[in-house]
Chain A
Amino acid sequence: MQKTAFPLGATLRYLAIALYVLFALFPIYWLIKIAVTPDRLIYTEGTQIWPSTFTLDNFVSVLFLTDFLVYFKNSMIVSLGTAFFTTLVATAAGYAFSRFHFRGKAIIIALMLITQMFPLLMIIAPIYKIMAGLRLLDSLTGLIIVYTAFNVPFATFLMQGFFDGIPKDLEEAAMIDGCTRFTALRKVIFPLTLPGLAATLGFIFTAAWSELLFALMLINSDDKMTFPVGLKTFVSKFAVDWGQMMAAGTLALIPSCLFFILIQRFLVKGLTAGAVKG
C-alpha cells in the first residue's frame, strides 16, 4: 500500500536498520563461525567468512571434556537467584517510591543513586573483606547477595518508572470497588506491571550472567566458578583454545536468548492501553 506513496524514505529507513542489525549481530556470527571451524583451520582461514570444513568437535569437547556444565549450572543458579531477589526487592521499593510520600524518601533515592557512582574496582576490596567476615567467600550465595545489592538501585528506578506509568486512579477505583491496597496491587496493578517485571528480570538476569569482576574475586574453587570465570580456563599459559572458547560462548548465549524469548510477549505489549482516557 505504502509502496506507491514514497518508497525512498522507507527504503532508507530499512537500510539503516539492516546495517545496524548487521553491525550488532556480526560478533555473534563470528563467535559461531569460529566455534564450528576445525582447530587446524582457525589461523589459516581466519578471515574467511565461512570455513571450508565444518565441525561440531568443539561443542562436543566443551560439553564432555571440560567443566563447562558445572560453570553453566553455577551461572544459572546465580543469575536466576539474582534476578528473582533483585526483582522482588526492586518491585516493592519501586512501588513505594512511586505511590507513597514518606520522610526521607529523597535521601534514600539520593543514596541509591550514589551507590551507582563508584567504579566497581574501587569497592571490590571492602566487599571482599565484608564477604570474608560473613564467611561467604567462594560461595554462590555470597555472589547472589552481592549481585542483588548492586542491581537493586537500578532495578528499583526501572520498576518505579513502570509503576509511575500506571494511573493511580486504577488502584483507587479498585479500593473503592472493595480491594485493600494489597489486593488492588495483586489484582489490578501487578497484571499491568508484567512488562516491567519481565524487562527487569531480563535485564538483571543478563547482567548477572555476564558479570566477571566479582565472580573472579570472590570465587576460588573450580566447582563454584560461574561461566565468565570458567571461560578463562580456556586460556592456558601457552595457548588459547579459540575453538572451544567460542563453542562455550555460543552455548552460553542460549539461556539469555531463551529467557528473552520467554518474556518478550510481556515486553512488547502495552498493557495499559485503554485504562484511562483515550
Chain B
Amino acid sequence: MTAITLNSINKRFGPVHVLKDISLEFNKGEFVVLVGPSGCGKSTLLRMIAGLEPVSAGDMIFGDTRVNDLEPRDRDIAMVFQSYALYPHMDVERNLGFSLELRKRAAAEKKERTSHAAGILGLDKLLDRFPRALSGGQRQRVAMGRAIVRDPQIFLFDEPLSNLDAALRIEMRIEIAKLHRRLGTTMVYVTHDQVEAMTLADRIVVMNAGQVEQVGTPLDLYSNPANLFVAGFLGSPKMNFVAYDDPALNLPSALTNPSAQTYGIRPEHIKVTAPDKNAHLVGTIDVVERLGSDTIFYINHGADKPFVVRVPGIDRTAIGEKIGCQFQPEDLHLFDQDGQAISEHKNG
C-alpha cells in the first residue's frame, strides 16, 4: 500500500524554482532516505510533506487523502528536527507528552505512552530533567521519543544526526534502524551523509538541483547508478571517472564502447598490478592513506584528479612508485556524452 504519493510536486520561492516536477511513491512501512548535496531541495521536500512549506504545484497524497491544504497538525506525522527543537521550558516528560497534552488525552494514557517511549529510548531516568541539562545524544533521544509518543502514520527525520559526534552518530543510526524495525512505520529521512543513506534505507531517492536523479535500493544504486551524478555521489571514496581518450587508459577493445565518453570504476574494484602492458591504467602513487583495514592510493595518471584505489589490508607500496591497475569488465561503468549510464554494456 502506498503511504505517500507525490504527484508532479513543484516548489518556487519567488523566482527560484527549487523543486521541479517531483513524482514519487513511498510504500507503507518503508524507510525512504532522501539524499543529495546541500541545496538540492531534499529538506524542502520533507518540509512540504510535513506541511511546513506550501506546495506550489502538484498533489501530495497520504494514503487516499490529498493533504496539500492540511495543516501540519492534521497530517498525523511526527518530525525529528536537525536542531532537536525541544521545548526548553518543559522537562523531558512534558516534552514527550506535549502532543498528547494538546490533544487533551487522559493523564493515565499520557503517562503510559510517555513511559513506553522513554523505555524504548532509555530516557526513564531523565524524565524530570530540562533540555539544557541533557547531552546532545540525550536531546536527540528526547526528540525521537516525542515522535514515538505520537504513534503517527509517518515519521519524518530532517538530518537528525548531523549535530552529533561520529561515535554517537553511529550509535543513534543503529537506534533508528532498530526503531524502524520495531515500529514498522513509514519513515522519510533526509541526510547528506551517504553512509546513513546506505545503511538505513529500504530505498534511496538521490536528488540534485531540485530533481530526482534516481530511486532504488541502496545496493541497486551502488551497482547500477543511472548517471554520473549518482555514480559519483554514492560510495566512499568516490567512483573514479576517466575520459575515454585519457592517454593513461589502456583498455582491451572488449571493454570499450564507441558511445562511452566516460569510464567509471569504484576504488574498491581495482586490482593493483605491475605497471606493464597488461595494466588497464598506469600511474605514480602520490598519496597513501593506510587505515589498517584498507589502504587507499591516490595515483597520478596525468589527469586533474587522482585515480583512487582501495585495497584491503595494509599495503606497503610506497609513495612515488609506479603501479598498474586492472578492472573486471563487470565492474566498469560506462557513461555517454550526457552523463547517462550505458546499460547495454552491463548486460552484455
Interface set of A (CB-CB < 8 Å, partner B) = 167, 169-170, 172-180, 183, 188, 191-192, 271-278
B73–A173 contact, CB under 8 A?
Answer: no
| A272 partner residues in chain B, CB cutoff 8 A | 88
| A273 partner residues in chain B, CB cutoff 8 A | 88, 132
Residue of A nearest to B147 (CB): A176
Residue of A nearest to B13 (CB): A101
Residue of B nearest to A166 (CB): B88
Contact of A176 (CB < 8 Å), options: B77, B83, B132, B133: B77
| A180 partner residues in chain B, CB cutoff 8 A | 71, 73
B88–A271 contact, CB under 8 A?
Answer: yes
| A178 partner residues in chain B, CB cutoff 8 A | 73, 99, 102-103
| A175 partner residues in chain B, CB cutoff 8 A | 51-52, 71-73
A179–B89 contact, CB under 8 A?
Answer: no
A180–B73 Cα distance when bound, in Å, is: 8
Residue of B nearest to A172 (CB): B52
B81–A179 contact, CB under 8 A?
Answer: no
| B73 partner residues in chain A, CB cutoff 8 A | 175-180
A173–B163 contact, CB under 8 A?
Answer: no
| B139 partner residues in chain A, CB cutoff 8 A | 274, 277-278
Closest-CB distance, B220 to chain A (whole angstroms): 32
Closest-CB distance, B259 to chain A (whole angstroms): 48
B87–A174 contact, CB under 8 A?
Answer: yes
Residue of B nearest to A190 (CB): B89
B102–A169 contact, CB under 8 A?
Answer: no
Closest-CB distance, A183 to chain B (whole angstroms): 7
Q: Which of B50, B78, B131, B134: most chain A Cβ within 10 A?
A: B131
Residue of A nearest to B80 (CB): A173
| B130 partner residues in chain A, CB cutoff 8 A | 274
A276–B83 contact, CB under 8 A?
Answer: yes
A172–B133 contact, CB under 8 A?
Answer: no
A175–B72 Cα distance when bound, in Å, is: 6
A277–B136 contact, CB under 8 A?
Answer: yes
B88–A169 contact, CB under 8 A?
Answer: no
Q: A175-B71, A177-B146, A178-B73 are in contact. Are A183 and B102 (CB under 8 A)?
A: yes
Residue of B nearest to A167 (CB): B83
A176–B50 contact, CB under 8 A?
Answer: yes
B132–A274 contact, CB under 8 A?
Answer: yes
B136–A278 contact, CB under 8 A?
Answer: yes
| A275 partner residues in chain B, CB cutoff 8 A | 83-88, 131
| A188 partner residues in chain B, CB cutoff 8 A | 87, 89
Closest-CB distance, A191 to chain B (whole angstroms): 5
Q: A176-B77, A274-B132, A274-B139 are in contact. Are A170 and B102 (CB under 8 A)?
A: no
A17–B87 Cα distance when bound, in Å, is: 36
A277–B79 Cα distance when bound, in Å, is: 16
B89–A192 contact, CB under 8 A?
Answer: yes
Q: Which of A174, A192, A273, A277: most chain B Cβ within 10 A?
A: A277
Closest-CB distance, B175 to chain A (whole angstroms): 18
| A276 partner residues in chain B, CB cutoff 8 A | 83-86
Contact of B85 (CB < 8 Å), options: A170, A183, A191, A278: A170
| B131 partner residues in chain A, CB cutoff 8 A | 274-275
Residue of A nearest to B99 (CB): A177
Closest-CB distance, A202 to chain B (whole angstroms): 21
| A278 partner residues in chain B, CB cutoff 8 A | 132, 136, 139
B132–A169 contact, CB under 8 A?
Answer: no
A191–B88 Cα distance when bound, in Å, is: 10
A277–B88 contact, CB under 8 A?
Answer: no
Q: A272-B88, A276-B85 are in contact. Are A177 and B132 (CB under 8 A)?
A: no
A167–B272 Cα distance when bound, in Å, is: 52
- What are 25 A-B pairs at a CB distance below 8 A? A169-B83, A172-B81, A172-B85, A173-B81, A175-B51, A175-B52, A176-B50, A176-B73, A176-B77, A177-B99, A191-B89, A192-B88, A271-B89, A273-B132, A274-B86, A274-B134, A274-B139, A275-B85, A276-B84, A276-B85, A276-B86, A277-B82, A277-B84, A277-B139, A278-B139
Closest-CB distance, B254 to chain A (whole angstroms): 54
**CB under 8 Å from chain A, chain B span 174-227:** none
Q: A173-B85, A277-B82 are in contact. List 6 more A-B contacts (CB 8 A).
A: A169-B83, A173-B87, A175-B51, A177-B146, A179-B102, A273-B132
| B229 partner residues in chain A, CB cutoff 8 A | none
Q: Which of B51, B71, B83, B139: most chain A Cβ within 10 A?
A: B83
B87–A172 contact, CB under 8 A?
Answer: no
| A167 partner residues in chain B, CB cutoff 8 A | 83, 85
B72–A172 contact, CB under 8 A?
Answer: yes
Residue of B nearest to A273 (CB): B132
A266–B84 Cα distance when bound, in Å, is: 24
| A170 partner residues in chain B, CB cutoff 8 A | 85, 87
B136–A274 contact, CB under 8 A?
Answer: no
Interface 1/0 per residue, B62-106 and A, CB below 8 Å: 000000000111000111011111111100000000110011000
Q: A192-B88, A275-B131, A276-B85 are in contact. Are A176 and B103 (CB under 8 A)?
A: no
A275–B83 Cα distance when bound, in Å, is: 8
B89–A277 contact, CB under 8 A?
Answer: no
| B50 partner residues in chain A, CB cutoff 8 A | 172, 176
A1–B192 Cα distance when bound, in Å, is: 46
Closest-CB distance, A143 to chain B (whole angstroms): 36
| A172 partner residues in chain B, CB cutoff 8 A | 50, 52, 72, 79, 81, 85
Judged by a CB distance under 8 angstroms, whether B333 is at the interface is no
Contact of A177 (CB < 8 Å), options: B84, B88, B136, B150: B150
Q: Which of A167, A170, A177, A274: most chain B Cβ within 10 A?
A: A177
A179–B345 Cα distance when bound, in Å, is: 55
Q: A179-B73, A272-B88, A273-B132 are in contact. Are A169 and B99 (CB under 8 A)?
A: no
